[in-house]
Amino acid sequence: MAGRQSKSPEALAFGPRRPSFEVAEALGRDWHGGSAFRTAYFNAMSMLFPLGEKFFIDSVRHYRNQIDDQKLLEEITAFQGQEATHRLQHQKYNELLCEKRGYDLDSFERPLRDRMAWAYREFSARRRLAGTVANEHITAIMANDMLNRKDALTDADPGIASLWLWHGVEETEHKAVAFDVFIAVGGTVRERRQALLMNTFFFFKDTFRNLCIMLKHDGKLWSLREWLHGFKFLFIKPGIIRRVFRPYLRFYEKDFHPWQHDNRDLIVEWEQEYGKSVSRTAP
């Protein structure tokens, strides 16, 4: 394969960090400003990450031997390292959460585990990679909004907020790796569009399923007040889902690439504020 396969900025270099977050005490309560809904929403997303990150790593690793661009090979290694660390941090988070609040971890993981087994059985390797590309787009636009607007975690526990911000920065750094691998191995616009439609449905289906399980366990499932506050948070003010709708749609453009939106300034800003407390693993 001739030519450069990585389309990330030439100066972009990244790798996994070695973070440590104090979250155990806060996970036992409604850590997001005392809101059961906002707390459950973020906790529900966390439940998706350990198994999801493994799927992403596997789908990219499958094609490593078809990549001959040294920069993209280095980015694949960094991507795998970052996603592996996310997996470990969120597994710890999820286990502590279930321990503190009495949730059943298997009730969250089992449906996702079953669907991934189905995907490995029924989908081609390139279709699985397209799913990873789609999910990386969802996490990248959510990370950009969180880092840029700075109100998604207003009133959140500082330790847990730090974990989410760190995760968002690393999702930003590696947002194009799976995409560039997908293009390099012949992935099509149609495949990635179809994958985003399907993966958007399952991302929000799984998140809200987990959220409902948590609210039911905590006796808040039928609280109109919590749902009204949650609707406002997601769609009105700050409107964290409403705000990402336009960036979400850009993925469907024929010539889309994640780094058409160059937001490296958010990485620099985070490094200046938090980076010294989160060391980077040596390459």
Averaged over 264-279, what is the pLDDT?
86
Instruction: Give pLDDT, residue 274.
Output: 83
Alpha-carbon span 105 to 103, nearest angstrom? 6
- CA 128 from chain center: how many Å? 16
pLDDT at residue 276 above 80?
Answer: no
φ/ψ (deg, to 5) at 280? -100, 140
For residue 238, cis peptide bond before it (omega within 30 degrees of 0): yes
Q: Is residue 97 part of a domain?
A: yes
Alpha-carbon span 264 to 13, nearest angstrom? 11
Provide the residue range defining the domain that includes 153. 28-260
pLDDT digits (tens, 9 = 90+) for 13-71: 999 999 999 999 999 999 999 999 999 999 999 999 999 999 999 999 999 999 999 99
Q: Is residue 281 part of a domain?
A: no
Look up residue 147 and give its amino acid: L
Question: What total number of domains does the chain contain?
Answer: 1
For the chain, what is the mean pLDDT? 96
For 246-276, the three-class secondary structure string (H helix, E strand, C coil) is HHHHHCCCCCCCHHHCCCHHHHHHHHHHCHH
Q: Is residue 274 part of a domain?
A: no
pLDDT digits (tens, 9 = 90+) for 179-210: 999 999 999 999 999 999 999 999 999 999 99
Could you give the C-alpha distances from 75 to 7, 12, 130, 187, 268, in angstroms and in order? 11, 9, 18, 18, 18
| Cβ atoms within 10 Å of 231's Cβ, excluding its own | 13
Confidence of residue 1 (pLDDT cuts 50, 70, 90): very low
CATH number, domain of 191, equals: 1.10.620
Look up residue 169 and give its amino acid: V
pLDDT digits (tens, 9 = 90+) for 55-98: 999 999 999 999 999 999 999 999 999 999 999 999 999 999 99
Q: Is residue 38 part of a domain?
A: yes
With tokens 């949730």, the residue in question is: 103
**Percent of the residues in the chain that have a pLDDT greater than 90, as a whole number:** 95
Q: Is residue 202 part of a domain?
A: yes
- CA 177 from chain center: how many Å? 14
Q: Is residue 11 part of a domain?
A: no
Alpha-carbon span 212 to 280, nearest angstrom? 36
Confidence of residue 282 (pLDDT cuts 50, 70, 90): very low
pLDDT digits (tens, 9 = 90+) for 118-171: 999 999 999 999 999 999 999 999 999 999 999 999 999 999 999 999 999 999
Alpha-carbon span 158 to 169, nearest angstrom? 16
The backbone region for 67, taken as left when phi is positive above 0, alpha when psi lies in -120 to 50, beta otherwise, is beta
Averaged over 241-249, what is the pLDDT?
98
Instruction: Give pLDDT, residue 280.
Output: 61
Q: Is residue 2 part of a domain?
A: no
Instruction: Give pLDDT, residue 277.
Output: 66
Averaged over 224-230, what is the pLDDT?
98
Q: Is residue 119 part of a domain?
A: yes
Alpha-carbon span 47 to 258, nearest angstrom? 25
